[in-house]
Amino acid sequence: MLHSCIALVVFAAAQAAAPASNGVQWAPLTPNQPAAAPAAQVTPAVRRSLPAGTQVSVTPLQEISSKHVKEGERFQFRVVNDVVENGVVVIPRGSMATGVISMQTGRAIGGKSGKFDVTFEKVEANGRVFPLMGTHRQEGKGNTVGALLGSILISGRSAVMMPGQIVTAMVKEQTDY
């Protein structure tokens, strides 16, 4: 009976010293068992990309004339407006783009004006390369009429693209940024 009373007193003292568990059972840690760290919450990576077909407005850095260009020649263009996707400036104004002369005719006799096509290749921004697509055709305007030794000559004018002239290219494929 003495043993039962001592056991009851020890049990009551342990219960009084233990914090309220609210139904949770606590297991004592052994010296070699580390406490469990709370599980880290992993947030999924957000994939952000610029969709294909996004318009990019550009202007040439120098005058381009059908009298002087050759097919295959590359020219630099500057982006004139920020390209924004989901509130983020993906391609900032001032970024450099590249276009290549894909077709060219000089000034012609017989009233035909010169023309050339610029096919856009890429724009580089924030360490990324965004492939571009689209072709801009520049044509000479009007005809020139002249007389030479009694003959009347009608010739076309050269096509000229000047800095400040804004043309549009498009992003060729969805590109992550």
- The pTM for the full model equals 0.67
Nearest to 137 by CA among 118, 152, 156: 118
Tens-digit pLDDT profile for residues 134-166: 999 999 886 555 544 555 555 578 899 999 999
Question: Which is it for strands 135-139 and 115-125: parallel, antiparallel or unpaired?
Answer: antiparallel
Distance, CA of 173 to CA of 121 (rounded, Å) = 12
Tens-digit pLDDT profile for residues 13-51: 455 555 554 555 555 555 665 555 556 666 666 779 999
Q: Is the pLDDT reported for residue 8 higher than 50? A: no
The fold for domain 51-176 equals Lipocalin (2.40.128)
Distance, CA of 172 to CA of 177 (rounded, Å) = 14
Distance, CA of 106 to CA of 29 (rounded, Å) = 88
